[in-house]
Structure 1
C-alpha cells in the first residue's frame, strides 16, 4: 500500500472515509504485530488505538512512494516494544476475556486457549512471524519487508517455529 499526496492530505484534514479505508486494510496486521509482542488482548486493543492516533500525528514523516503498511507496522512494533519494556513485570496473558465455551464464528484463532498455549512456546520473533503468516496471511517476502529482515532469515525462523509447534501437537 503506497499513499499519494492526496490521500495524505485527506488524512491530515481528518477525512473519516479515508481513515476508515486505511484502518480496515491494515488493522489485522497491526493487531497481529502488537499481540505477538504483548500477548494480552485488552492491552493490544488499547495499543492499536494509540498506534492509529500516532500514525495521524506522524503522517508528515511518511515518505511518499514508500510502503505505508510497512511504515505503520514499524510504528506498531516500536509502541508495543516500548510498552512491553515498561510493563514486562506485570504483563500477563489476559485469558479472562476469552469465552472458551461460547465460540462465535467470528472468533480469531488467537482467542483459543490451545492457540495461546502454542504461541507461548515460541520466542518473540517466532511468534511475530507465525502470527503475520498464519493470522494475517502475509507472504514470507512481505514479512521480511515489514520486519526489515532477510527473506532467508524469515524462512528459517518460520520453519524453526513450525517444527517447534509440531513437536507440541
Structure 2
C-alpha cells in the first residue's frame, strides 16, 4: 500500500473517509504485530489506538511512494516493544502467577488459551513472523522489511515457528 501526497494531505486535514480506509486496510496487520509482542487482547486494543494516533502525528515523516504498510508496521512494532519493556519491569510477579494458572489450565483450555499456549512456545521473532504471514497474509519479503531482517532469516523463522507449532499441536492432541 502506498499513499500519494493527496491522501497524506487529507489525513493531515482530518479527513475521516481517508483515515477509515487506511485503518480498514491496515488494522489486522497492526493488531497482529502488536499482539505478537504484548500477547494480551485488551492491551493490544489500547495500543492499537495509540499507534494510529502516532501515525497521524508522524504522517509528515512518511515518504511518498514508499510502502505505507511497512512504515505503519514499524511504528506499531516499536511502540509495542516500548510498552512491553515498560510493563515487563512491573509484571515479573504477575508473569509467575500467570504461568501457574496457564499450567493448571492445560487440561481443558478454550481455543484462545490453546492458541496463546502454542504461541508462547515461539520466540518473539518467530511469533511476529507467523502472525504477520498468517493473519495479515504478508509476503516474506514484506515481513523482512517490517522486522528489518534478511529474507532468508524470515523464511527460517517462519519454518522454525511452524515446526514448533506442529510439534506442540501433536503433543497436545496425543
Give the shorter-chain TM-score range. Answer: 0.7 to 0.9
Alignment of 1:45-84 (within 5 A): 45-84=45-84
1:49-83 Cα shifts (integer Å, max 9, x gaps) = 00000100110111111111111111101100000
Give yes or no for the alignment of 1:17 onto 2:21.
no
Task: Give the aligned CA root-mean-square deviation in angstroms.
Answer: 1.8
Normalising by the residue count of structure 1, what TM-score does the alignment of the two structures yield?
Answer: 0.86
Equivalence for 1:162: 162
Q: Distance in 2 between matches of 1:149 and 1:81?
A: 16
1:43 is matched with: 43
**TM-score when scaled to structure 2?**
0.84
Please, which runs of 5 or more residues in structure 1 have no aligned partner? 102-110
TM-superposed deviation, 1:143: 1.1
The residue number in structure 1 matching 2:120 is 120
Instruction: Tell me which stretches of 4 or more aligned residues in structure 1 moved more than 6 Å.
Output: none
Cα distance in 1 between the residues matched to 2:32 and 2:144: 15
Partner of 1:139: 139
Residue 153 (1) aligns with residue 153 (2): yes
